[in-house]
Amino acid sequence: MTYYIIGGILLSIILFLLIQYYGLKKSLKNKDRELKSLQRETKKQIHRQQDYITVLSQELRTPLYGIMGLTNLIAEEYPELKDDKKLKSLKFSGDYLLNLINNVLHINYLDVEGIKSQNNLFNLQEVTQNLVNSFSYATDNSDNTLHYDFDPEINPMVIGDASILSQILMNLISNALRFTKNGDVYFSVHLIKSKHNSNNISFKVKHNGDDISSEDQKSIYQEFINVESAKKSYLGTGINSRIVKGLVNVINGDIIIQKNAQEGSEYALVLDLQVQDDKNDNIEDHNNSNEANTNTKRKALIVDDNKLNLLVADKILSKEHFECTTIDNGFDAIELVRENRYDVILMDINMPKLNGIGTTKRIREFNLKTPVIALTAVDITQLNRQIIHAGLNDYILKPYTKNHLLEIINKHLENPILNQ
């Protein structure tokens, strides 16, 4: 009898545990479905935010391109205004705003590995000198001094991503200036070692500010600087170490940070850059090509719905002996290409009614030869596949410099022009 009682109790316990188990299992399944649903909704929300930031950055880039382009054109056409404080202020503001926009974009896409480096030929000395010049207004209006040194042993013509390099260096220099009061910031570009086709280069930014507290030092290495501290600086935001480290990884560099409460801090970016060994030959070939084509104007079609952007591109190319035709919509552009011969077409991507990708697709139905180069304010990581399928030959991200524009055009001309 005792065994039956014990057996009944054990059976009851087992049945109770089974009921609890299946109830718990059902509850966990429901929770799992809820979590998956929440995860899907969270991902959708993140994508919506990323899309919003991308669109916002595009809207900011488009007018900024016009401002920066006109500023550079004014500086070129009126050299007597080179040292004008108002012009310096305008250029500094444009360069710094572009850097902030790039920072926001990279925060947006750093976690999804959407940043790709581009390998283009550029003048390293010119890029770094322009960077220093862009800070001249900031230093003129403070008690700090920015020193610049470029190693003459470095071959200035290198291949790499000038845009990402500039963004990293701008973050480092602006951070050094914000943590320096009545002091010096030293920016130097030195050759570490040279190989047959590449240079190992260090970009050092050192400052000797005397007001750096231990709290401020710690904030340098956090993702965002302290907001209250930032309000005291004319440069606004400080270095975002997450962005800098992410961008350094994209271009396969190394970042070294040394700090000293008494002497300030030093940042060193170490990077391998491929050198252009046959620069002299290329220049000679380009010169011969230019001499042969001095009296022959090339024809360029510029398609953009923004009148200011059309003006800037027209001004740049006209000085390079291009005969430019400008048009503000894709439909008219198609007819112009059908009726005329052009050496190159610059195509804005974001246009109403018919965008640049759709316009290029229609052009490719009857013209496969003329190079079409995309002009876009949209982060290019989203457009690579569409650009390839549409038949576009290359792209230029707004805002762009004159040299970068000419460099990309050169790649696709039968008789390249010589970059000035």
- Structure letter (DSSP) for residue 412: T
Q: Which of 201-205, 216-220, 378-382 has the highest mean pLDDT?
A: 201-205
Task: Name the nearest CA neighbour of 398 among 170, 92, 64.
Answer: 64
Average pLDDT over residues 82-104: 72
Q: Give domain 91-275's CATH superfamily.
A: Histidine kinase-like ATPase, C-terminal domain (3.30.565.10)
Matching residue, tokens 């926009």: 101
The percentage of residues in the chain with a pLDDT greater than 90, rounded to a whole number, is 20
The string of pLDDT tens digits covering residues 296-335 is 689 999 999 888 889 889 999 998 889 999 999 999 999 9
How confident is the model over 253-277, as pLDDT tens digits? 998 877 655 566 788 899 999 987 6
Which of the four pLDDT bands, split at 50, 70 and 90, describes residue 60?
confident
Mean pLDDT of 84-106: 72
For the segment 181-208, the average pLDDT, to the nearest whole number, is 88
Question: What number is the average pLDDT over the span 222-249?
Answer: 52
Write the DSSP symbol of residue 135: T
**Cα 83 from chain centroid?**
27
**Which whole number is the average pLDDT over 178-202?**
87
Lowest mean pLDDT among 36-50, 112-126, 288-302, 396-410: 288-302
Paired with 395 in beta bridges are 374
Residue, of 285 and 351, whose pLDDT is higher: 351
The domain segmentation of the chain, as residue ranges, is 45-82+293-420, 91-275
- With CA atoms as reference, report the closest residue to 399 among 99, 23, 110, 28: 99
> CA distances (Å), 17 to each of 7, 10, 24, 25, 42, in order?
15, 10, 10, 12, 36
For 13, 139, 186, 271, the CA distances from 204, given in Å and listed in that order, are: 73, 18, 8, 11
How many other β-carbons are positioned within 10 Å of the β-carbon of residue 345?
Answer: 27
| Cβ neighbour number for residue 181 with a 10 Å cutoff | 15
Radius of gyration of the chain (CA): 28
Contacts 24+ apart (CB under 8 A), 308-312: 308/63, 308/66, 308/69, 308/70, 309/62, 309/65, 309/66, 309/69, 309/348, 309/375, 309/398, 311/66, 311/70, 312/65, 312/66, 312/69, 312/70, 312/73
Stretch 21-25: mean pLDDT: 82
In this prediction, residue 295 carries a pLDDT of 52
Per DSSP, the residues of 300-319 read: EEEE-S-HHHHHHHHHHHHT
Burial pattern 378-405, b for ≥16 Cβ within 10 A else e, equals bbbeebeebbeebbbbebbbbbbbbbbb
Of 331 and 144, the one with more pLDDT:
331
Q: Is the pLDDT confidence value at 361 over 50?
A: yes
Average pLDDT over the chain reads 77
Pairing label, strands 145-150, 184-194: parallel
DSSP β-bridge partners for residue 121 = 159
Residue with tokens 């762009």: 400
Whether domain 45-82+293-420 has CATH 3.30.70.100: the reply is no
Exposed/middle/buried for 158, CB within 10 Å: 0-12, 13-18, 19+? buried
